[in-house]
Each structure stands twice: as C-alpha cells, then as structure tokens.
Structure 1
Amino acid sequence: MEIRLSGITNDSIVDGMGIRLTVFTQGCTHHCKNCHNPQTHDPNGGYLKDTDTIVEMLAENPLLDGVTLSGGEPFLQVDACTELAKQAHGLGLNVWAYTGFVWEDLLGTEKETLLKEVDVLVDGLFVESLKSLDLLFCGSSNQRLIDVKESFAKSTVVLWK
C-alpha cells in the first residue's frame, strides 16, 4: 500500500518514548500558525513510498522501541497508517501518533480505525500562544498525551504517564 510522505527519521528520541522510527506523512488541513513542519501541509507534495518498505525499516533496526506517525496529519491517510501500525505491533513495537484533531472528534468516525491501533496519541492543534519548551513530547499546553488502550477501556480520556 502506498503512503504519501514528507520524510522518515530513524533513531528519533524526540517523537515519543524510547528510540523511534518517525514517519512524517504529507498533507495537513490544520495549518497551525508557526507549525514545526509547514513543508508537510501540501497534500500533493512529498513523495510516495510503499508501506512494506517502511515495515522492512522497522524490522531491520533492533534498537527501535516503536514507530511514531507524525506529519502533516496521519489521520488523513487512515488506511496506510493503520497498516503501518498493525505491522509495527506485529513486530512487538509500540505506536505513537501526533494529530491536530482531538480525541473526541476521532471517535465514531472512519479515523477511529487508526486510533484503535495507536498506543499513545498526542492530540490537539499546535497553539503558538500556548507553546512551551518544557512540555514532554508536545509543543503547546493544550495538547494531551493520551493512553489510547486505557481510554477505550474506561470510555474516557486517560492521560499517558
């Protein structure tokens, strides 16, 4: 399956807990002011890559703890990102995802398919006036780090610790 990407970073330590392969999807409709990755906004930009090639990269790196789906907006490429997440879990890796959407708006939509394959979700738009360099794994204080499995189990948002 093909996915449109802006890029891939191997051995990242800033996009979630542990050592990660970060997949930067291409295309975003949020256009947050002073976005960290504005080059990812154009849905026709970037390049196409087969998800199997990314899975091979995951399998070949024994140091990885997981994969992070970032962007752009990974929830605009639900099918390809869901496939990557499932394959990563099959390799014993965890899955983090960054989204400008909020948890509540993903529930009950086609995007929930991907959400159910994520372990930790960083949700919410980047808001420049709430920016803080002191935050763990997010850029602005409105964003939440959500334990997805616990949140589904308890039918309420449970923050990741």
Structure 2
Amino acid sequence: MSTSFQIQVATYLPESYSNGPGCRAVLWVQGCPKRCSGCWNPDFLSFKGGTVWTVAQALEKLTQSDAIEGITLLGGEPFSQAEPLSNLCAEIRQHGLSVMAYSGWTLTELTRMGSPQTDLLACCDLLVDGEFVAESEASLLWRGSYNQQIHFLTERYAQWRSQVNNYHRDFEILIQDEQLILTGDPPAAVLQMLQGLLPQGEWQMR
C-alpha cells in the first residue's frame, strides 16, 4: 500500500454522528462525473478546486479523534478516486476502524468496473449506492431518495439490517472554525430557518 497517493479533497469533519453509524470522521472528495438534479453539494462536482492531500495526510487528519468508530466517504464521487481511497481505507482498516462509502453508481456498476473500484469496495463495510433522484426524495436514514440502497458488505453492522428502515433522516448543526455547518439530511423547514436567520456565507451545507 502506498501512502503517497494524492486525494482531491473538498472538505472533512473530524467527528459526525449523522453520516453513518456511530461517531465518524467524514471525508468529502472533490469531483463527480454525475449531475444529479438537486445535488446536496454542487460545489464539490468540479474536478478542479479543493485541496490535495496525500493518503498519509488524510490518514492523520481522519484518525485524530479517539471518539470515532470509522470513516465515511462522500463527495463528489469517491469511486472516481478509487485508487488513492482504497489505499487510505486499507490503512483505516488497519486501525480497527470501519469504512462507509457513498456512490452515484450502483453496486453492480461498480463491480463491473473492476479494479480499482472493486479494491475500494473490498475495504468498505457499508455502501450507499445510486444517484439521488429528486422526484423520489425520501426521509430514510442515510439515504436521500427511495432508489438508494444500503449494502452490508461485511458483517460489522449486521445488526442494522433489520432495523435501518425503522429510522428516519438525521442531521447535525455544528460549529467548526467559527462557521456554522449543517450536515446530514435536514428537513426543508430547517433549511428555510437557517436561510432566514443567516446569510449564505455564514453557514455551509455538507
């Protein structure tokens, strides 16, 4: 495994409770080939911009909290950077942490792509797949629309199989570097409240 591979990073959170099971570090990568209507992070679609991290730098930043039980990969499209992220996640697993990833491609499509996408899949415990479809928007836990599925790729979170559909959308309002951050999947009323209280430049959606 190489820790010198480079990752194009949009942003990250060292701790979050709304982007997967338990407390997780969250990495948003920069760049996505898809253009889903109603994308939550349109600023992360371009493959230009963001910050370049080596795998070693990402590992250091994402494992700084003793509270986390794993990391979640979002974007952007993580599987567009499958090679460096598979190296990162292999190192993450060596630390005893879990890996959850999101992709606009389905599990079947990713599997057909072969390496390095399948190398990244092999490091994942959970995968949420499928494009966001605004017309099928849902209040499901960890999913934005009804077509998206949660795949349990290992047995680490097997207990969630029978209960994941019993929970609804989750979100957090955090303060990082003196800026308010809204992350997860908030209802429209929360967005409207923030838009009415604060100018867009004073808070971010992730």
With structure 2 as the length reference, what TM-score do the two structures score? 0.71
Structure 2 contact 77–103 (Cα < 8 Å) conserved: yes
Is it true that 1:113 corresponds to 2:119 in the alignment? yes
Matched residue count: 152
User: In the alignment, is the contact (CA less than 8 A) between 1:116 and 1:149 conserved in 2?
Assistant: no
Q: C-alpha distance in 2, partners of 1:64/1:55?
A: 13
Equivalent residue for 2:133, pick from 124, 127, 130 = 127
Question: How far 1:51 moved relative to its partner?
Answer: 1.6
**Residue type at the aligned position of 1:121:** L
Gaps of 5+ in 1: 151-157
Q: Work out the CA distance in 1 between the residues paired with 2:63 and 2:79.
A: 23
Residues 62-77 of structure 1 aligned to structure 2 (within 5 Å): 62-77=66-81
Of 90, 97, 102, 2:101 maps to 97
Given residue 93 of structure 1, which amino acid in structure 2 is its aligned partner? L
Paired residues for 1:49-60 under 5 Å: 49-60=53-64
* Superimposed CA distance per residue, residues 95-147 of structure 1 (whole angstroms, 9 cap, x where no aligned partner): 00000000111113221111111110000000001112x20111001000100
Identity %: 33
Specify the structure having the higher radius of gyration (Cα): 2
* Alpha carbons 1:26, 1:45 under 8 Å: kept: yes
**Rounded Cα–Cα distance in structure 2 between residues aligned with 1:44 and 1:127:** 25
Runs of 4+ in 1 over 2 A off after TM superposition: 57-60
SS state of the match for residue 150, structure 2?
strand
Q: Aligned-pair RMSD on alpha carbons? A: 1.4
How big is the shift at 1:35?
Answer: 0.3
Q: Deviations over 1:55-79 (max 9, x none)?
A: 1123331100100111000000011
Corresponding residue number in structure 2 for 1:34: 38
Say whether residues 1:83 and 2:92 are aligned partners.
no
